[in-house]
Amino acid sequence: MNQPWRAKAACNGLDPTIFYPQSDDEEEARKAKSVCAVCPVQNDCLEYALGFREKEGIWGGATERERRRIIRQRRRAAYAAAAAAGRRSA
């Protein structure tokens, strides 16, 4: 799998365990999120995690719970847009 953005990631070379906190506790995720906050490829990382439904860890500055929320929000927006398009064409 080709992911050229990973070479530019701020986390490249860091201890990966900081990106896999033991719980969903925001305090435990803070260190990883601080790395992600200054990462030049944060969005690429987040989109990768969303696209592949990564179940664990901090990706693109988002926890698993936050990524699930993003997916739900996007799904709702897509349904609303499809419904609006259906009403316009009817």
Cα 41-8-67 angle, rounded to 5 deg: 35
pLDDT at res. 83: 87
- Locate 11 and state its tokens: 């986390």
Q: Cα-flanking dihedrals φ and ψ of residue 59, to 5°?
A: -130, 125
Residue 32 burial (CB count, 10 A)? 22
Q: Cα-flanking dihedrals φ and ψ of residue 62, to 5°?
A: -120, 140
In angstroms, the CA 42 to CA 39 distance is 5
Tens of pLDDT, residues 20-35: 998 777 888 999 999 9
Total domains in the chain come to 1
Strand (E) positions, 1-90?
none
Tens of pLDDT, residues 37-73: 999 999 999 999 999 999 999 999 999 999 999 999 9
Q: What's the pTM value of the predicted model, to 2 decimals?
A: 0.86
Q: Which domain holds residue 51?
A: 4-89
